[in-house]
Amino acid sequence: MKKTLAAAMAALTCLAAAPAFAGDVTVTLTGVQARGGRLLAALQTHDQFLQPAGAYGDVVENPAAGTVTVTFRNVRPGDYSLSVLHDADNDGTMKMNGALPGEGWAMVNGAALRAMPTWDLVKFTVPASGDVSLTEAMQYPR
């Protein structure tokens, strides 16, 4: 019994020390408008959600109208939110028109949002088994 328990503990120790797999997250943004500025794209953990921080980030300068693809490489498995801001005025923050966004943005399930996003509505999972592809529409103020 002691040998079995020792072998099981050794196996668990090896599993705990094994590195987590990492995959790529490819995000296709549709409906991008040519408004100058830059697209700020980030993958955020639960603790970073709706904060000016991200676990993974990318910037697309002066995006052209149409479709833009951003790939985050070597993303560790886990739950993330996608946050994209079309920072047309290059100030690094979301301009607001009252309670509504004044600049373009995208999130997972963004087109269905009718109020402030919650983590559970916009999160997605990066599995240990491979890559993730997302297609999200940019939302712009009217």
Ordered structural domains, the chain, with CATH: 22-137 (2.60.40)
Q: Token pair of 27, please?
A: 């995000």
**117 vs 38: CA distance, rounded Å:** 22
pLDDT reading at 74 higher than 80: yes
Phi, psi (rounded to 5 degrees) for 60: -115, 110
Mean pLDDT of the chain: 87
pLDDT recorded at residue 53: 84
pLDDT tens digit string along 18-33? 456 789 999 999 999 9
Helix (H, G, I), strand (E, B) or coil at 25: strand
What is the arithmetic mean of pLDDT over 46-63? Answer: 94
pLDDT tens digit string along 81-101? 999 999 999 999 999 998 889
Go through 65-102 and write b for each residue having 16 or more CB atoms within 10 A of its CB, e for each that does not. eeebebebeebeeeebbbbbbbbbeeeeebeeeeeebe
